[in-house]
Chain A
Amino acid sequence: MGAPRGLGVRSGTTPIPNRSPIRHDVEVTFLVEADAVIKRYGSFSALSGATFTIEPGITGLLGANGAGKTTLLGMMLGLHSIDGGSLKVLGIDPYTAGAEVRVRLGYAPEHHTLPPDLRASDFVRHVAELHGLPKTEATTRASDALWLVGLGEERFRPMGTMSTGQRQRVKLAQAIAHDPNLVLLDEPTDGLDPMQRDDMLALIRRVATEYQINFVLSSHLLDEVQQICDAAVIIGDGQVLAAGSLEQLRGDGSDIFIELEDEALVSKVSAGMQAAGATVASDGRTLVVSGEDDSILDIARDVCASHDAGIVRLNRRRLSLEDVFLETTAA
């Protein structure tokens, strides 16, 4: 894997004009706006009333296999019609104005079966040309994109000779080569070992940060969404179970978690806290207490002391994305 190509200074050839790296900003508040989107395949309901928005940054589209992630990506690309509601990508209906939307989108499919005898540079250049870049520009940018993803030295290799990790990088390169506003990645770490996966996620994060490219990546792996995404849309059974920034989804830590020594005292402690105005949920020896302010800590201490209930653990409760996922899917 070659290193990313940096700035170089040569003499004796025609200089490339130094253009500003400032991006053409998307003049919409939301990259994607879905309002009660319905999609059916015969009697099967793939999406039933999905409502969410996606803002600039990296957004994870999270859900179990078969939850409807790929269908949703297809609808964002305008490949599938919708049976109800409305969907806008970059402020445009992708189904009725597909070409206009797709010229500003990059897409990396889930499958790895790219044309085996095609060289990576030819493939990326071809996709860049498909998105409207003139041939010379497409050739230059294909090379630049392949250097950026770490395949500079390998760019003339046929894709059939590449590893899964390299092919995932080629797919990322072809998705960004034409400088899209939004890139849709379908399971970008599929088939990668843990180290390759971390490298790929770091690369996506770097591209998003350094070049202000917005990403929507579908995944069924919670930790990878938690690792690099700014926001998430959780899908299950064709519905949006939760959506928002990771901070919003994981909560602000205002709830407290208490584990008692004696399970028999849980109901008494719970009743005492509710009497003091807190909202309590209990499970076994544990309680989750919600209150208006920091006074719930004092309430918890006093109620436990009054019932002589020994505390094993007491801490602020901050959910992991897995907790959020399990809670929303269970609900």
Chain B
Amino acid sequence: MTTTQPTGPPADAGEQARIYEQGYRAYTGDRTGVPGAMRTVITTSIRSVLGLGRSGRHKIMPVVVIALAYVPAVVFIGLAALLPSDIEESFLPSYAEYYGFTSTALLLFSAFVAPELLCSDRRTGMLGVYLSSPLTRQTYLAAKTLAISIILTIVTIGPPLLLLIALSLEDAGPDGWGAGLTLAYRIIVSGIVLSAVYAAVSMAVSATTERKGIATATTLGLLVTSTVVTNLLIEETGVSPWLHLADLPTLPLELAFRIHGERGEWGTTEVSTPLLWLAFVVIVGGSAAWIWNSYRRMLVQK
């Protein structure tokens, strides 16, 4: 019979041993400060709205809206690749006209995003948690505004930019780098203008109520009603075409036409471009003042 000697730990076991999980302990590293806090609010907000890291039902809305915005671009890219160039030019929309295809997606997205990000924070008490961090009301709102604007640019800048890149690769884009860059610049500015107006209106509504459903319905109602009422009044009663400036969803679309150097639906003699820009500033500035006034007075602690 053989016997085995018990084997003890190697002589240098103590030197090799390492503590891997120390549990809770003091933190002595650097802190990222207010910029870091804003960054995490922006990224968390974007992930939340897009349903990333959340259950399947939270992904439905963003997927539907993004599909609505991108499918027309994909279809046009496909047709441009398949059809001869002389035929394709007759049915391809201009870049400014393309926003007409994405306006429904933009309307739905703006009515969904701002309530999701602003109302929820107040309803669940997260606003109090945010404001007990290095964030202030100003930096919190700045971070949320950036998050909402970035999300909306997925719909406003993404599809026409995709169209530009794809058509350029198919030799159906603008002539030369200069024209291409100018067009890209116009797409980006138009996208920012569209995002700014829709974000401003939906954020102003969301600053007024804690309930997401009410904020979504009010945003949709306000945008749709402003179009219907202004068009009815102008067409039926012949009031001044300046009333177009109160048509909230169409105003940034009209500005997009002017940015692209095209004639929109409103005549330039009836509603001049400087007047359009002035209306844009009033809407965005007025909404910002409304939002700040709501948050400035808000008791948030509980």
Contact = CB atoms under 8 A, between A and B. Distances in A.
Identify the interface centre among A103, A114, A147: most chain B CB within 10 Å of its CB.
A103
A220 to B, nearest CB: 15
A174 B23 CA distance: 15
Interface string A88-105: 000000000011101101
Nearest to B44: A126
Contact of A99 (B18, B53, B135, B302): B135
B17 A9 contact: yes
B292 interface: no
Interface in B19-34: 19-34
B85 interface: no
Interface in B47-90: 53-55, 58
A129 B54 CA distance: 19
Given A16-B19, A131-B134, A148-B23, A117 B54 contact: yes
Contacts of A102: 132-134
A186 B27 CA distance: 24
Q: B30, B125, B136 — which one has the most chain A CB atoms within 10 A of its CB? A: B125
A194 to B, nearest CB: 24
A130 interface: yes
Interface in B123-137: 123-126, 128-136
Interface in A158-191: 174, 176, 178-179, 184, 186
Contacts of B34: 99
Contacts of A110: 302
A301 interface: no
A154 interface: no
Interface of B is mostly: loop
Nearest to A10: B20
Task: Specify which of B17, B24, B53 lies most central, judged by the most chain A CB atoms within 10 Å of its CB.
Answer: B24
Interface in A52-109: 70, 73-74, 77, 79, 98-100, 102-103, 105, 107, 109
Interface residues of B, number: 45
Nearest to B55: A117
B124 A23 contact: no
A144 interface: yes
B21 A7 contact: yes
A197 B33 CA distance: 35
B132 to A, nearest CB: 4
B132 A103 contact: no
Contact of A15 (B18, B23, B128, B300): B18
Interface of A: 4-11, 13, 15-16, 18-24, 70, 73-74, 77, 79, 98-100, 102-103, 105, 107, 109-111, 113-117, 122, 126-127, 129-135, 137, 141, 144-145, 147-148, 174, 176, 178-179, 184, 186, 211
18 contacts: A5-B23, A6-B23, A15-B20, A18-B22, A19-B26, A73-B301, A79-B132, A107-B132, A109-B128, A110-B302, A117-B55, A126-B40, A129-B40, A132-B30, A132-B31, A132-B36, A141-B24, A184-B132
Interface of B: 16-34, 36-37, 40-41, 44, 53-55, 58, 120, 123-126, 128-136, 300-302
Cβ-closest 8 pairs across A and B: A132-B31, A15-B18, A130-B133, A107-B132, A179-B27, A99-B134, A129-B40, A8-B21
